[in-house]
Amino acid sequence: MSRHRIVRGMDYNDEYDGYDDVYGHSVDDDCVSPTDQQWLYDRARGQQSMSAFISKNKNIEEEAEDDDDDEAFQKARRDSESFQMPELDELEQAKLSSCVDEVRSVVGDAVSERRIVETSMRFDYNIQQILDEILNEESSLKEKEKQKDKEQEKRSQKLKMPATAAKTLLMTTPTPKPTPTLTKITLATGQKDARRGFDIASPKAPASPVISGRNTPVDGGDEATTRNSNASFKLSKEQAQRNAQQLYTLERATLKSHIHMIVIGHVDAGKSTLMGHLLYDTGNVSQRVMHKHEQESKKLGKQSFMYAWVLDETGEERARGITMDVGQSRIETATKIVTLLDAPGHKDFIPNMISGATQADVALLVVDATRGEFESGFELGGQTREHAILVRSLGVNQLGVVINKLDTVGWSQERFQEIVHKLKAFLKQAGFKESDVSFTPCSGLTGENLSKGAQEPALKSWYKGSHLLDVIEHFKVPERAIDRPLRMSVSDIYKGTGSGFCISGRIETGVLCVNDKVLVGASREQAQVKALTMDELTQTSVFAGDQISVTLAGVDINNITVGCIICDPQLPIPVTTRFQCRIIVFNVKVPITMGYPVLLHHQSLIEPAVVCKLTASIHKSTGEVVKKKPRCLGNNSCALVEVETSRPICIERYSDFKELGRVMLRVAGVTIAAGMVTKIR
C-alpha cells in the first residue's frame, strides 16, 4: 500500500509545513490559495466543517475529480462546501435568506451561495444592486482567471521565502477581489494560523498563550503522520489529522463556558444543604421533588436534611445524614454552566473527595460559623484545613469561602470578621493568592444570600458584597489544553443502557470524538469509542475539561479499573512502577523514612506504594539541596523521593502534564505529603 501515494487524501499542510503558517486552513480560497491545495479536494477539511455543509450546502457532494479545466465550478463548489454562514442576529438572518432566495430565482444555481450572501450583505440586501453585481461579475470572470494565473506565479516565487517573510508580504499583496467581506475577516484569523489556538471568531474561548513547544501544531502534525505510518494499528484519518482548536471553535464557540466546582469543608458544615438549596433556588429541582424530600425527611425526624437529600441519594447517606461519595449536579448562571461536585466532609471519605477534587477547576470552601464548630473544623485534624490544602495541592487556585450558618450567631459581623481573619492567614500560608479568595456570609438552610442579595436586616446592615451565585459567576474559567494529546482519567465504570459498558471521567487534555481509537490504562489495550455523552446528552466530540461518559468497545470491563488513564494511541502516556517526585511533607505524626508504605492518590487512582528512596531533602523556597540521602523527613520539609508501586500505573511528569503529574501520599487516613512527579523510570 505504501507505494501508492494517496494523493487525494493527502494533507498538504503537512507536505509544505513552511507555508502552514501562512495558508493555514482558510475557508476562502480565492484570495489566498495559490498552492496546489486550491485545486485539490481535501477530505479532512471537508469533514471539519461538516455541520456547515449539512445545513447549508445545496449541492450534492460527489467524488472530486482533478479536472483543472472547470475551475469556476470547482471553486464554487468548494466555496459552498466549506462556507459557514456569517453570524447574524435574527432580523438580519431573515432579510438575508429572503434576499438569497430572490437572487437564486434569477440566477439559478450557477452562482455559489457564498457569493450571494457576501454580495447581498455588501449591498445591504438591495436586490437590484446585488443582481447587477453578480451578473457583471459573471461576465468578467474570464478576465479574472487570467489575473489569477499571474497571481499564482507571483505566489509560487514566494514559496521559496521563509514563512514569516511570506506572511508579511502577503498582507501587502493586493487581493484579486478587494471587496471587504465578512469571510475575509475569518481569513485574517486564518493567516495568523487558526491551529495556534488563536481565534477571533469565538468570543468566549480565550486565546491560549501557553502552549509548549511539544504541542505546536506544525510539529504535532508532522509527528502524527510519521508515527502513523509506523504505528501497528490504523487510525482513522480524521483522528490523525484532527485540528482540535478548529473543532472546538466549531462546537463550543456559541456555548456558555463550563467550569467544575467542588464544594469542600468539614463534616456537617452544611455543604450538601447549601448546594441543595442553591439548586432549588436556581430552579434545577422541581417543587414536587422538593416536597417529597421534605415529607420523607420529616418522617425520619431530620427535616433539616431536606436540601441535602437533593444530592445525597443513596439510602445509606440519607439514613446517616452524611455525604459519602461525591454528588454531582449542574446549574446554569448567566454566563456559565457550572458542574457542582459535592464532596463528603467526613475524614474517612477523603479518598472520594480527592477523586472529586482532581476534576474540579475551582473550589467552594464551606465553614460553619457556629461557635465551637468552626474551631473544631479548623484546628489540627479538622477537615477545613486538610481539604483546603488538598485542593490547593491538586491545582485548584480559585477559592470561594462560604461562611455558612451565620444565622445561628445572629448574623454577627464580629464573628464573620473573626473567621475571615483566621482563614485569610491560613489560606495565604496554604498558597492561595489573596485576590483569588472571596468570603461570603450566608445560610444554607434559610437560603439567605444564596441566589439573591442579602434580605435579612441584620446582615443587610453590614454586608454589601455579592451573593453566592454571583461569586460563582465571577470565577475565572481556566485554560483548557485542547491542543494537547488526549488524556482522560476514569473515575467510574458502570453498565450502560445499551451494549458494552460506560466509563465516566474527565478529559484532562485533548479532544475525543466518536469512533476514535484510544489506549486504556497501564495495559495499553486498544479500544474504540462508541458513544459519548455529556450531562445525558449525546455528543460527537468532547474537549478538555469536560466531564463525560464514554461507551467503549473492544476492551474487557475487567481490564479497566477506576483511576486508569485513557490516552491517545499516537502519544501514549508513560507507564511505570517507579518514579521520582518532589514532595512537601505536611504535619506528620511519624517521619517518613525509606520503605515507608503509603497510599498513592493520583487522579482517581488509589494504589499502595512504598517510598523506596529518599534522594535529597531540599530547601522549601530556593529548591537547593540541603542534604543528600536524609535519614528521615520530618514535618513541613520538602524533598525528592522515589516512590514504587506494586502494579504499573500511568503517570506523567509535572512539567509535561500538570494535571497528571500531581500525586498525594496518604497514610492511615491522613494526608502526609503532596508531590509533583519529576522523573519517570
Partner 1 sequence: MKLLGKYVDKGMQGNVTLMPEESEDMWHAYNLIAEGDSVRSTTIRKVQNETATGSSTSSRVRTTLTIAVESIDFDTQACVLRLKGRNIEENQYVKMGAYHTLDLELNRKFELRKPEWDTIALERIEMACDPTQSADVAAVVMQEGLAHVCLITASMTLVRSKIEVSIPRKRKGNVQQHEKGLAKFYEQVMQSILRHVNFDVVKCVLIASPGFVRDQFYDYMFQQAIKMDYKLLLDNKSRFMLVHASSGFKHSLKEVLQDPAVIAKMSDTKAAGEVKALEQFYMMLQCEPAKAFYGKKHVLRAAEAQSIETLLISDNLFRCQDVNLRKEYVMLVESVRDAGGEVKIFSSMHISGEQLAQLTGIAAILRFPMPELEDSDDDDDEDGAAGGDNSDSD
Binding site for partner 1 (CB under 8 A): 313-316, 320, 324-329, 346, 348-349, 351, 491-495, 504, 557, 560-562, 588-591, 593-597, 599, 606, 608, 610, 612, 627-629, 631-632, 634, 666-670
User: Could you give the CA distance from residue 26 to residue 1 in angstroms, rounded to a whole number?
Assistant: 31
Residue for grid cell 474551631: 375
Compare residues 572 and 591 and give the one whose CB is closer to partner 1: 591
Q: How many CB atoms lie within 10 A of CB 530?
A: 17
Compare residues 412 and 577 and give the one whose CB is closer to partner 1: 577
Compare residues 240 and 611 and give the one whose CB is closer to partner 1: 611
In three-state secondary structure terms, 529 is strand
Dihedral over Cα of 286, 287, 291, 297: its sign: positive
Compare residues 6 and 380 and give the one whose CB is closer to partner 1: 380
Q: How many CB atoms lie within 10 A of CB 667?
A: 17
User: Could you give the CA distance from residue 12 to residue 369 in angstroms, rounded to a whole number?
Assistant: 64
Nearest-approach distance from CB 295 to partner 1, in angstroms: 19
Compare residues 2 and 497 and give the one whose CB is closer to partner 1: 497
User: Could you give the CA distance from residue 261 to residue 360 in angstroms, rounded to a whole number?
Assistant: 5
Between the two ends of the chain, the Cα-to-Cα distance in Å is 38
Please give the radius of gyration of the chain, using alpha carbons only, rounded to the nearest integer. 29
Nearest-approach distance from CB 599 to partner 1, in angstroms: 6
Nearest-approach distance from CB 245 to partner 1, in angstroms: 31
Q: Which of 355, 339, 331 is nearest to 260 (CA)?
A: 339
Compare residues 17 and 644 and give the one whose CB is closer to partner 1: 644
Nearest-approach distance from CB 593 to partner 1, in angstroms: 6
Compare residues 513 and 672 and give the one whose CB is closer to partner 1: 672
Compare residues 83 and 579 and give the one whose CB is closer to partner 1: 579
Nearest-approach distance from CB 320 to partner 1, in angstroms: 7
Joined grid coordinates for residue 354:
480527592
Compare residues 73 and 494 and give the one whose CB is closer to partner 1: 494
Beta 257-265 vs 362-368: how paired, if at all? parallel
Separation in Å, CA 471 to CA 216, 367, 421: 35, 16, 19
One-letter amino acid for residue 47 of the chain: Q
Nearest-approach distance from CB 641 to partner 1, in angstroms: 13
Compare residues 292 and 627 and give the one whose CB is closer to partner 1: 627
Beta 336-342 vs 257-265: how paired, if at all? parallel
Joined grid coordinates for residue 432:
492561595
Nearest-approach distance from CB 589 to partner 1, in angstroms: 7
In three-state secondary structure terms, 448 is strand
Compare residues 389 and 403 and give the one whose CB is closer to partner 1: 389
Joined grid coordinates for residue 74:
470547482
Residues 645/598, Cβ–Cβ less than 8 Å: no
Nearest-approach distance from CB 283 to partner 1, in angstroms: 16
Residue for grid cell 447581498: 120
Nearest-approach distance from CB 477 to partner 1, in angstroms: 24
Residues 578/609, Cβ–Cβ less than 8 Å: no
Separation in Å, CA 539 to CA 30, 481, 505, 555: 34, 19, 15, 21
Compare residues 176 and 351 and give the one whose CB is closer to partner 1: 351
Nearest-approach distance from CB 586 to partner 1, in angstroms: 14
One-letter amino acid for residue 646 of the chain: S
Residue for grid cell 506544525: 218
Question: Would residue 47 be called left, alpha or beta, if left means φ above 0 and alpha means ψ between -120 and 50 degrees?
Answer: alpha
Nearest-approach distance from CB 592 to partner 1, in angstroms: 10
Residues 183/87, Cβ–Cβ less than 8 Å: no
Nearest-approach distance from CB 516 to partner 1, in angstroms: 23
